[in-house]
Structure 1
Amino acid sequence: MDEEKENTSKWLSCEECSNWAIIYNFRDNRVNPFDPFDNHIINRGAKGEYSIQYECLQSDLCGGWADRLKGILSTYAFSLITNRKFVIKITKNCDLESILVPNKIDWKYDKSEKYQANETKVLSYRWNFNLNQVFRKEKNLFSEYKNVSLLIIKAGFMFSEPIAENVFLKSKVEKLGYNQSRFKIVYQFHNWYKELFQLNAEMQKKYEIFTKKIKPDGDTKLICAQIRMGDPGSQSELSKTVSLEFWNFIQNNFLINDNNSSRYVIYVTSDREEVKKEAKKFFTKNQVFYMDKSSDHVDLSSNCKNTANVILDFHVMQNCDIGIVSHSGFGILGLWNRPNPFENLFVYTNKNQSDLKKSYWNRRNMFFKKYTNLDDIFFT
Structure 2
Amino acid sequence: MNQWWWWCMTVRNTLCKRTIIAYCIFFFTVLIIWKYHEKSIKIEEEEDTLKQIISLSSVNPISRTTTTTINQENEKQTNSIISIESDRLDYWLRNNSRTLGINLTAILAPKRSRKYLVYVCHENCGGWGDRLRGIMSLFMLSLMLDRNFRIEITHPCNLSYILRPNLYNWIQPINGLVVVDPITHRRRFNLTRKMIITTANAQKEVLTNVSNILYNNRSINSIWSEDVLYWATNKDYFYQLSNNIFYRKKFKSYGIMTKYNIKLDILFSLFYEILFRPVDKIQQHILQYKLKQKNSHIICAQIRTGIFIFV
TM class by shorter-chain length? 0.5 to 0.7
Post-superposition shift, 1:75?
Answer: 1.1
1:238–1:205 Cα change, 3 Å: farther
Counterpart-to-counterpart distance in 1, 2:236 and 2:169: 22
CA contact under 8 A between 1:56 and 1:90: conserved in structure 2? yes
User: Are 1:51 and 1:85, in contact at CA under 8 Å, matched by a contact in 2?
Assistant: yes
What corresponds to 2:21 in structure 1? none
Equivalent residue number for residue 237 of structure 2 = 159
Task: Tell me the SS of whatever aligns to 1:178.
Answer: coil
Specify whether residues 107 and 145 from structure 1 end up closer, same or farther in structure 2 by C-alpha distance, changes over 3 A only.
same
**Following the alignment from structure 1 to structure 2, what is the Cα–Cα distance between the partners of residues 100 and 221?**
24
Aligned partner of 1:210 in structure 2 is: 289
Question: Residues 109, 71 of structure 1: CA spacing in aligned structure 2 closer, same or farther, 3 A cutoff?
Answer: farther
CA contact (8 A) 2:191 2:228 kept: no
Q: 2:262 aligns with which of 177, 180, 183?
A: 183
Amino acid at match of 2:221: F
Structure possessing the higher radius of gyration over alpha carbons: 2
Number of residues of Structure 1 aligned to a counterpart in Structure 2? 185
Match of 1:294 in 2: none
- Residue 221 (structure 1) shift: 4.1
Pair 1:98 & 2:176 matched: no
How far the C-alpha of 1:175 sits from its partner, in A, is 2.0
Q: Which runs of 5+ in 1 are unaligned?
A: 1-41, 240-363, 365-380
Match of 1:197 among 276, 283, 301: 276
**Structure with greater proportional helix content:** 2
- For the pair 1:126 / 2:199, whether they are aligned, the reply is yes
Q: Please state if 1:174 is matched with 2:252.
A: yes
1:19-78 deviations in Å (ceiling 9; x for gaps): xxxxxxxxxxxxxxxxxxxxxxx984xxx5211100011xx3311111111111111111
Deviations 1:89-117 (A, max 9, x none): 11122111111111111111538962728
Tell me whether 1:228 sits opposite 2:277 in the alignment: no
Between stretches 197-206 and 120-129, larger displacement belongs to: 120-129
The two structures have a TM-score, normalised by structure 1, of 0.44
Give the percent of matched residue pairs that are identical in Structure 1 and Structure 2.
25
Contact conserved, 1:88 with 1:109, CA < 8 A, in 2? no
> Residue by residue, what CA displacement relative to the aligned partner does 1:290-335 show, whole Å, maximum 9, x if unpaired?
xxxxxxxxxxxxxxxxxxxxxxxxxxxxxxxxxxxxxxxxxxxxxx
How many Å apart are 1:226 and its aligned residue?
3.8
Q: What letter is aligned with 1:80?
A: L
Structure-1 separation of matches of 2:282 and 2:214: 38
2:147 alignment partner in structure 1? 84
Between the aligned partners of 1:80 and 1:135, the Cα distance in structure 2 is 13
Question: What's the offset of the Cα at 1:142?
Answer: 2.2
**Structure 2 match to 1:55:** 120
* Counterparts of 2:276 and 2:303, CA distance in 1: 25
Specify the alignment match of 1:116 in structure 2. Answer: 189
| Cα distance in 2 between the residues matched to 1:143 and 1:43 | 17
* Cα deviation digits, residues 121-147 of structure 1 (max 9, x gap): 11111136534454222223222333x
**What CA distance in whole angstroms lies between the structure 1 residues aligned with 2:288 and 2:111?**
46
SS in 1 for 2:272: helix
Q: Deviations over 1:228-254 (max 9, x none)?
A: 35x22xxxx266xxxxxxxxxxxxxxx
**Greater strand content:** 1
CA contact (8 A) 1:132 1:161 kept: no
CA distance in 2, matches of 1:116, 1:210: 47
Q: Secondary structure at the match of 1:168?
A: helix
Say if 1:52 and 1:153, in contact at 8 Å, map to a contact too.
yes
Once residues 83 and 161 of structure 1 are traced to their aligned partners in structure 2, the CA distance between those partners, rounded to angstroms, is: 19
**Contact persistence 2:118–2:151 (CA under 8 A):** yes
Residues 183-203 of structure 1 deviation map (CA, whole Å, 9 limit, x = unaligned):
122111111111111111111
- Aligned partners of 2:121 and 2:152 also within 8 Å: yes
Q: How far apart in 2 are the matches of 1:107 and 1:133?
A: 27
